[in-house]
Amino acid sequence: MEAGEAARHPEGARSLGRALAGPRPQERPGYPPAPGGGSKAEARVLVINTGGTIGMVQDDKGLAPEANKLVSSLKTMPMLHDEAYAQETKLNSFHEFPENTLVLPVSKQNKRIFYTILELSPLLDSSNMTPEDWAKIAKKLEEHYEKYDGFVILHGTDTMAYTASALSFMCENLGKTVVLTGSQVPIYELQNDGRANLLGALLFAGQFVIPEVCLYFYNKLYRGNRVTKVDAASFNAFSSPNLPPLANAEVDITINWETVWRASTKKKFRVHTNMNRNVGLLRIFPGITAAVVKAFLQPPIEGIVLEAYGSGNAPNNREDLLEELKKATERKVVILNCTQCLRGSVKTVYATGQTLADVGVIPGGDMTPEAALTKLSYTLSKSKLSWEEKRQMLSENLRGEMTVVPTGAKISLRDSKFIQVIAKSLSISSKEELEAVRDALIPPLACAAAKLGDIDALRAIAEMGGNLSCGDYDGRTPLHIAASEGHLPLVEYLLTSGATVYARDRYGSTPLMNAIKFSLTAKGDVDGLYAWYLAGADLKQTGYDGRNSLQVAEATGHKEVLDFLRQKQ
């Protein structure tokens, strides 16, 4: 949209500002200037240290967490702290928590990651972790959400899968990367897995917008609510039985963007901490008595995860057992059915599985017991929902915790005639080669569609498996382009399709910054600019074309905007 045309549509700019206003990050103090005027991209990551083996030391009773030791130790490890760069840039002079802030060496992506360690008190062995501790972690994420690009949570391995699952539900409308990690051996020991796990978690949290609660361990990034601990003595301690890893970090980092979960909402990030503790896990076993089941289902219990055999089966010749389950559901106790198997899903294939459904037990699909339990705790804590609505919510895929089999026809990569033509000309036939062609073509195609305001083209790209948060050669995403051009309907479509507002182009600008500089300023929206100013926006920052808001206003001739910006300079 040209400047003259923008001036004729001030209401569109105001609407665009409102559409983007929800999850805008504040401008963040504390970045040191790059030496020699360098232009390396920078990111800030908050590391929340909850305890766990990674920071433990040996005492007379065995391994135990030691407070105020981790930061000083990490500063002596070159792979985790570039002391020369910290001294050269006078890092301690620029950060609000100088003693607890470190900086990684430059990554392959030519990025500097600064990370600050926030240590919770007391540090915990994860066996002592409770829902109150989950709430403490969630509140720290909420408190610091606008100040950092990503988050790493150091945690013990024994209950890490429970915490990862719980936080995935507690963090509502998440738009940034949250990574849990830890180790099987303390980071201070000669042979350990803590250094590699911490480094990998920092690289993912600082370099990529993967808006999920993830778990990083042994070179793999998993969806947090899909993992379970499978080995107590191996560095390869976790498995995601029913979902491939989101990413692999080996010689190169490879991300499976098709698998990444994106919240289709424009709502502001918030945390829900009032989890319902009246829940439990009950495992069916041969010979289990009705008395045991009855005792387990008594008040104050409000919901249980029933771990059944195989694909969700239980004995159908035990009327006493089934009667207790039926009585419980009639008392509005919610029963969620999961399989005892490591891999697989609950299905009503067998008569023994249908029997449970007939007495009111809800199929839990392929959820892990950890995900099922924390989802139950989260759902039952929603006091404004009816019992029927809670049951329905448990059947829905809230955070990618379960596989939902699509109904009806699904467009495949080979259905795209455009991609087929390209593939034919390149003599491509395999699925992997087709995906490589698609991934190379989608960024410029999607950005071109955003420039034109072509929603139909973007929908087609999404249907063929395209990532609408992909960046072009300058790192600019379709949302950057749509925000700069003032295409409100397109901005709304991208936001509700999970496009991230936190992606930074090579110049460090987010779509939100572009909306301020190139849409609100060009269209003379003083109210919108004032709102961003109050929210902490730096109106002096330049965009990808080297101009700041004042220069854009001078080019468009908006006197009110010029007066406002000059007043705030």
Instruction: List, as one string, the DSSP characters of 342-360.
Output: SS------SHHHHHHHHTT
CB neighbourhood size of 473 (10 A): 10
Contacts of 63 (CB under 8 A, 6+ apart): 53, 56, 57, 186
Torsion of CA 215, 216, 221, 223, to 10 degrees: 0
Beta bridge partners of 416: none
| CA–CA gap between residue 262 and residue 497 (Å, rounded) | 8
Map residue 387 onto helix, strand or coil. Answer: helix
Cα-flanking dihedrals φ and ψ of residue 315, to 5°? -60, 130
Measured CA to CA, the distance from residue 437 to residue 46 in angstroms comes to: 36
From the list 53, 101, 157, 368, the catalytic residue is 53
CA atoms of 529 and 222, how far apart (whole Å): 40
CA distance 338 to 502: 36
C-alpha separations of 417 from 427, 442, 452, 460 in Å: 15, 14, 21, 11
Where are the strands (E) in 250-319, listed by range? 253-255, 270-271, 279-283, 303-308
Q: How far is CA 453 from CA 65, 372, 488, in A?
A: 54, 41, 9
* In 297-368, alpha helices (H): 319-330, 351-358
Active site residue 53: yes
Can you point out the beta strands (E) in 260-366? 270-271, 279-283, 303-308, 334-339, 362-363
SS3 307: strand
Residue 515, CA distances (Å) to 283, 423, 486 in order = 53, 37, 7
Q: Is the peptide bond before 122 cis (omega within 30 degrees of 0)?
A: yes
Neighbours of 329 (CB within 10 A): 17
Please name which of 198, 250, 199, 247 lies closest in space to residue 222, comparing C-alpha atoms. Answer: 247
- Based on its alpha-carbon atoms, the radius of gyration of the chain, rounded to whole angstroms, reads 26
Contacts of 407 (CB under 8 A, 6+ apart): none
Distance CA 53, CA 58 (A): 10
Which positions are catalytic?
Answer: 53
